[in-house]
Structure 1
Amino acid sequence: MSQDPVEANPGLYRVIFENERVRVLEYRDQPGDRTVPHEHPDSVMYTLSSFTRRLSSGGQQREVELEAGQARWLGAQEHAGENIGGTETHVIFVELKEPAPTAAGEGPLGPSGP
């Protein structure tokens, strides 16, 4: 069962700021550490270290290698991860609490038909 990353992985995630619009998380792990499945809303991720991870979601896996100092947009997602490199993972996530705006004529499943 997927859940909040801080509750699911309390030794790896911690809240460093929160208000009614955003929540800021710090994530740190060591080579070989794994997370259990958890969810993130739309977020901005900023890498404080270079790392290599394996992400698993919906029966699929992919490996990501990121350098320190990168900012990335992450759409809402559910996943589990594993540090498969030789360095610590150190990341800041800025999670958005507001839903994404919907363009005129679009519903939750995409553009409305005629």
Structure 2
Amino acid sequence: MNLDPISTDPDKYVVVFENERVRVLEYTDSPGAATNPHAHPDSVMVTLSSFRRRLTLGEAQRDVDLPAGFVTWLPAQEHRGQNIGDTETRSIFIELKEPAPTSAGATMDGPPPLGPGVP
């Protein structure tokens, strides 16, 4: 199954930049909209709007509220999300194409899967 968000939700994700090291996606949806299950590699997320979402990873589910201008590290993950607020969700994902470092002291700590506001 292809879990690339550009394939699973082409009406919500747009590639705005890509090279051999990163891919940058812009995500936009409206209140009530939901994504299909999809996956992201290690990424940095930047919120462009304030929004409220319900995030689901397997059986785990949680609701999040994020302000515009919030920036966070997100470890690679597979999930789906739903806009449960009354505002549009707008965010940028900077997806890394390089594998995570494996040498001691070279890893980055970040929030657990389903970071603070993954669409």
Provide the C-alpha distance between the structure 2 equivalents of 1:77 and 1:101, rounded to a whole number of angstroms: 17
Provide the C-alpha distance between the structure 2 equivalents of 1:76 and 1:31, rounded to a whole number of angstroms: 26
Tell me how many residue pairs correspond in the alignment.
104
Provide the C-alpha distance between the structure 1 equivalents of 2:68 and 2:59, rounded to a whole number of angstroms: 28
> Does the 8 A contact of 1:2 with 1:78 survive in 2?
no
Cα 1:2–1:80 change in 2 (3 A) is: farther
Give the gaps of 5 or more residues in structure 1: 105-114
Provide the C-alpha distance between the structure 1 equivalents of 2:6 and 2:76, rounded to a whole number of angstroms: 16
Cα-to-partner distance string for 1:47-80 (whole Å, 9 max, x where unaligned): 0000000000111101111000011100000000
1:1-114 to 2 correspondences below 5 Å: 1=1, 3-104=3-104
Provide the C-alpha distance between the structure 2 equivalents of 1:91 and 1:39, rounded to a whole number of angstroms: 16
Give SS of 2:14's match: strand
Cα-to-partner distance string for 1:8-67 (whole Å, 9 max, x where unaligned): 000000100000000000000000000000000000000000000000011110111100
> Does the 8 A contact of 1:2 with 1:39 survive in 2?
no
> Does the 8 A contact of 1:54 with 1:61 survive in 2?
yes
Counterpart residue identity of residue 61, structure 1? Q
Q: Which has the larger radius of gyration?
A: 1
TM-score by length of 2: 0.85
Provide the C-alpha distance between the structure 2 equivalents of 1:2 and 1:61, rounded to a whole number of angstroms: 22
TM-score by length of 1: 0.89
Give SS of 1:61's match: strand
Give SS of 1:98's match: coil
Counterpart residue identity of residue 33, structure 1? A
Q: Percent identity?
A: 65
